[in-house]
Amino acid sequence: MAKKMKNAAAWFEIPAEDISRAKKFYQHIFDIEMIDMDLGEELKMAMFPVEENGVGGALCQHKDFYHPGHEGPLVYFNANPDLQKVLDKVESGGGKILQPKQQITEEYGYMAVFEDTEGNRVALHSMV
């Protein structure tokens, strides 16, 4: 029998051209505090808060390695209990709604897609 994975994702990185602007946007829409990390050699990160054994991620800025845009992977953030509360802050934070909240199915809940301040396509998911 095949082994099960605890989480399909282990880590994510969202590219940023201006890490301060990106950090301000995500802190605004999620009401969180992010931790800055300066790793030298022009690499900067802002870490999303995560519970122990949870899936973590960061905003990342490096002129040669991270390039924001719509062509990369689509990250889905957990926005339970209702993603609309997060989506309502996207435009006031400087982002753009690309796909409003819509039901996937009763079993799988709802989703929406937005563009962040760096031009990345990012999604939200909730059961309500």
* Model pLDDT for residues 85-111, shown as the tens digit of each residue: 999 999 999 999 999 999 999 999 999
Q: CA-to-CA distance for 58 and 126, rounded, in angstroms?
A: 21
Tracing tokens 């505090």 back to the chain, one arrives at: 33
Q: CA-to-CA distance for 107 and 33, rounded, in angstroms?
A: 32
In this structure, which CATH number among 3.30.70.260, 1.10.10.10, 1.20.1250.20, 3.10.180.10 belongs to the domain 11-126?
3.10.180.10
pLDDT tens-place string over residues 43-66: 999 999 999 989 999 999 999 999
